[in-house]
Amino acid sequence: MKLTHTDEGGKASMVDVTDKSVTSRTAVAVGKVWMHADTLQLIIDNGHKKGDVLAVARIAGIQAAKQTAGLIPLCHPLALTSIKVNFDINMDNQCIDIEAVCKLADKTGVEMEALTAVSVAALTIYDMCKAVDKNMVIEGVKVIEKTGGKSGDWCAQR
């Protein structure tokens, strides 16, 4: 195995995708924010004084996916064709599950964009709710599926 973002001398290097084929590509990432039940209920009731927490987090995740190349040094700037950020409120486990799906037709994958969307959506939930719940935990941010490209389709073992 060889790292793709280093040259022969071990120096950081952006991958040259010039000769790669354009293919339809998708990446799905997930993560979760654990919180106190009262905090979760406040979000459900849209009772937070800062506004609709999930609407703001959704927009933040979408915006973040579009800015990934500016945040992660060796990522290629991509023309994303679809970004979806979804939330599943889990009262039994006192958490919000976050899923981001990013799509495009290009020469490189969109895993980093999906991961960035989930991460920033989770950070936004944390930021908006930290005044009422300092014990929130963000965890489990990972890619669970990707399609397209030379390496083909992949799905995480569950």
Note if 127 is an active site residue.
yes
Choice among 45, 52, 92, 127 that is catalytic: 127
Q: For residue 6, report the phi and psi dihedrals to the nearest 5 degrees.
A: -130, 150
The catalytic site residues sit at 127
